[in-house]
């Protein structure tokens, strides 16, 4: 069908692997476009609200170097599952 061919020209097929060590994103026809450590640096602010400070390599580099008790380092999979469970 012509409609499917036209829509296919403007779509991106992506595969996401939220692994325990690395998160990998693969785009159809392009291969691996993201390969980052599965780490999220999160800061807890007032009233229990959280703010993402860094992800991937940047978050991994922060581990052990960030002072204070308000910083948490989580796996990307755990963090995303927590966000999705609170949004429903």
Domain ranges of the chain: 2-87
* Domain 2-87 classification at class level: alpha beta
| Single pTM value for the model | 0.64
Q: How far apart are CA 29 and CA 14, in angstroms?
A: 10
- Tens of pLDDT, residue by residue over 17-45, are 888 889 898 988 889 999 999 888 888 88
In this structure, what token pair is assigned to residue 74?
A: 């989580």
Q: How far apart are CA 88 and CA 85, in angstroms?
A: 6
């Amino acid at each position: 069908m012509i409609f499917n061919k036209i829509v296919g020209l403007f779509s991106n097929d992506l595969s996401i692997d939220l692994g325990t060590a690395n998160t990998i994103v693969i785009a159809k026809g392009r291969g691996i476009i993201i390969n980052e450590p599965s780490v999220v640096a999160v800061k807890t602010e007032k009233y229990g609200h959280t703010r993402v400070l860094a992800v991937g390599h940047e978050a991994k580099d922060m581990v052990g170097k960030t002072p204070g008790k308000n910083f948490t380092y989580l796996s990307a999979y755990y963090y995303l599952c927590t966000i999705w469970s609170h949004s429903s």
